[in-house]
């Protein structure tokens, strides 16, 4: 009971700090919210069990590789943010075409990511119920898909999108409580029966291709690229970088605490595995995680649904209206829900975002070449373009 109280206290204190006007009303924090909401959303729910089950004691190294890779892709997008207006008249026709192709690929990636978010929503929504199986999870996911479509077609998403700041604050507060509980459990293991160093179950090329298939779990930073109507390029660049630093620090602490306290028989590789695993740490954590999951997944799905519909309408100059795009998104999402599991959807989403990041890296490489940019820029962006191609081709899902 004492630990439960301490965890709840951490959640409440963190929530109060996040609501303080000095933070919540600051321009930098507001600009950080959108990328931070995506980066540290779904990945936090699935990465711990996936990395621990597949990579054992090397899970923190794999997490570091994902964070570094995401940060490097972020650097390519930040370069494009800094140069897009300045070089608008100097850009070649190929660069402009790649920019259009990147927007189309992002719209498609959002379609898959919404399916990913809502399938996790369904899984966590029924996880604490007696009928918490995949069939009922899919039914809940389908109902939410149709509900979002109904609201989008009749009322638009403005009312639902206002949930974003509240859901981010709730999620971060609950994550703070989770980390506090894990830190206590880690210290008990370290000073008692000892930490556990599980061997990896995936090595070599199979281990590499799974990392490729997990890129979407640290995705979301690219949203800063499309906030130009609200924030200057300098603010978007700084807020994206800060969001990636903060999310990387949280992920690394989380995986470092998670990777050495569970035996192999305590790790069940399924969508909601973290709930049962955290119940061992503290009884209050499963309820908090379900609350965070439902809030975060719903708001992220609404944001990406709106973003995808808006992109399609903009790219087709309203020949395909947002409403029609929403219908297409929900139709594809329902097909994915009933034909694939969450881990397979994660893999497809990772490859879709890798394709988008590859196009953005190619645009950055062309800009660096045109501007005769000295230093690391050109070779880095070319390497990222090639890495994206490898992820698209070879990325695999959790078995």
Per-residue pLDDT at 293 exceeds 90: no
Q: Give the DSSP letter string of 87-101.
A: TTTT--HHHHHHHHH
What does each C-alpha distance from 291 to 8, 170, 250, 285 come to in angstroms? 13, 9, 19, 10
Measured between alpha carbons, how far is 380 from 361 in angstroms, rounded to an integer? Answer: 9
Measured between alpha carbons, how far is 51 from 256 in angstroms, rounded to an integer? Answer: 11
Two structure tokens written together for 132: 């918490």
Give exposure, 195-220, as e/b (b: 16+ Cβ within 10 Å).
ebebebbbeeeeebbbbbbbbbbbbb
Per-residue pLDDT at 86 exceeds 80: no
Q: What mean pLDDT do residues 202-227 have?
A: 87
Closest CA to 272 of 297, 247, 301, 304: 297
Per-residue pLDDT at 230 exceeds 80: no
Measured between alpha carbons, how far is 75 from 82 in angstroms, rounded to an integer? Answer: 10
Per-residue pLDDT at 110 exceeds 80: yes
Per-residue pLDDT at 142 exceeds 60: yes
Return the pLDDT at 204: 92
Hey, is 348 helix, strand or coil? Answer: helix
pTM value is 0.89
The CA-based diameter of the chain, rounded to the nearest angstrom, is 65
Two structure tokens written together for 276: 């049962």
pLDDT band at 389 (very low <50, low <70, confident <90, very high): very high
pLDDT band at 196 (very low <50, low <70, confident <90, very high): very high
pLDDT band at 39 (very low <50, low <70, confident <90, very high): confident
Sequence-distant (6+) residues with CB within 8 A of 137 are 119, 122, 123, 125, 126, 271
Highest mean pLDDT among 154-163, 307-316, 341-350, 359-368: 359-368
User: What fold, for 2-9+36-86+106-394?
Assistant: Amino acid/polyamine transporter I (1.20.1740)
pLDDT band at 303 (very low <50, low <70, confident <90, very high): confident
| CB distance 273 to 49 below 8 Å | yes
End-to-end CA distance of the chain: 37
Two structure tokens written together for 291: 């609350």
Return the pLDDT at 337: 92
Return the pLDDT at 164: 58
Closest CA to 384 of 351, 346, 357: 357
pLDDT band at 155 (very low <50, low <70, confident <90, very high): low
Return the pLDDT at 92: 81
Per-residue pLDDT at 363 exceeds 70: yes
Per-residue pLDDT at 127 exceeds 90: no
Q: What mean pLDDT do residues 5-13 have?
A: 92
Two structure tokens written together for 337: 């829900």
Return the pLDDT at 25: 81
pLDDT band at 160 (very low <50, low <70, confident <90, very high): low
Return the pLDDT at 210: 92
Return the pLDDT at 359: 95
Return the pLDDT at 161: 55
Return the pLDDT at 91: 78
pLDDT band at 52 (very low <50, low <70, confident <90, very high): very high
Task: Compute the mean pLDDT over every residue in the chain, rounded to the nearest whole number.
Answer: 86
């Amino acid at each position: 009971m004492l630990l439960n109280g301490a965890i709840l206290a951490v959640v409440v204190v963190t929530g109060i700090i996040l609501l303080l006007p000095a933070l919540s009303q600051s321009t930098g924090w507001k600009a950080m919210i959108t990328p931070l909401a995506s980066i540290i959303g779904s990945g936090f729910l699935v990465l711990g069990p996936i990395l621990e089950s597949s990579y054992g004691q090397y899970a923190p190294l794999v997490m570091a590789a994902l964070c570094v890779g995401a940060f490097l892709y972020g650097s390519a997008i930040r370069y494009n943010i800094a140069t897009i207006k300045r070089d608008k008249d100097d850009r070649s026709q190929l660069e402009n075409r790649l920019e259009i192709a990147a927007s189309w690929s992002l719209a498609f990636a959002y379609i898959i990511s919404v399916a990913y978010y809502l399938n996790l929503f369904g899984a966590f929504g029924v996880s604490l119920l007696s009928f918490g199986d995949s069939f009922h999870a899919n039914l809940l996911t389908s109902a939410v898909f149709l509900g979002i479509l109904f609201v989008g077609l009749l009322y638009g998403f403005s009312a639902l999108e206002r949930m974003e700041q509240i859901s981010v604050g709730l999620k971060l507060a609950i994550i703070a409580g989770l980390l506090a509980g894990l830190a206590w459990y880690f210290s008990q293991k370290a000073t008692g029966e000892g930490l556990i160093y599980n061997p990896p179950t995936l090595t070599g090329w199979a281990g590499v291709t799974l990392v490729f298939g997990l890129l979407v779990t640290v995705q979301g930073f690219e949203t800063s690229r499309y906030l130009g109507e609200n924030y200057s390029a300098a603010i978007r660049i700084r807020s994206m970088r800060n969001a990636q630093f903060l999310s990387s620090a949280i992920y690394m602490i989380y995986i470092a605490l998670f990777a050495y306290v569970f035996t192999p028989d305590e790790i069940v590789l399924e969508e909601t595995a973290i709930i049962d695993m955290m119940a061992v740490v503290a009884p209050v954590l499963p309820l908090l995680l379900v609350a965070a999951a439902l809030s975060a997944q719903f708001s992220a799905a609404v944001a990406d649904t709106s973003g995808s519909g808006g992109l399609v309408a903009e790219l087709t100059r309203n020949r395909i209206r947002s409403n029609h795009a929403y219908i297409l998104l929900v139709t594809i999402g329902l097909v994915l829900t009933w034909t694939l599991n969450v881990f397979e959807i994660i893999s497809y989403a990772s490859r879709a975002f890798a394709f988008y990041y590859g196009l953005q890296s190619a645009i950055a490489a062309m800009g660096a070449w045109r501007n005769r940019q000295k230093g690391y820029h050109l070779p880095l962006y070319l390497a990222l373009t090639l890495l994206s191609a490898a992820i698209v081709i070879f990325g695999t899902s959790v078995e």
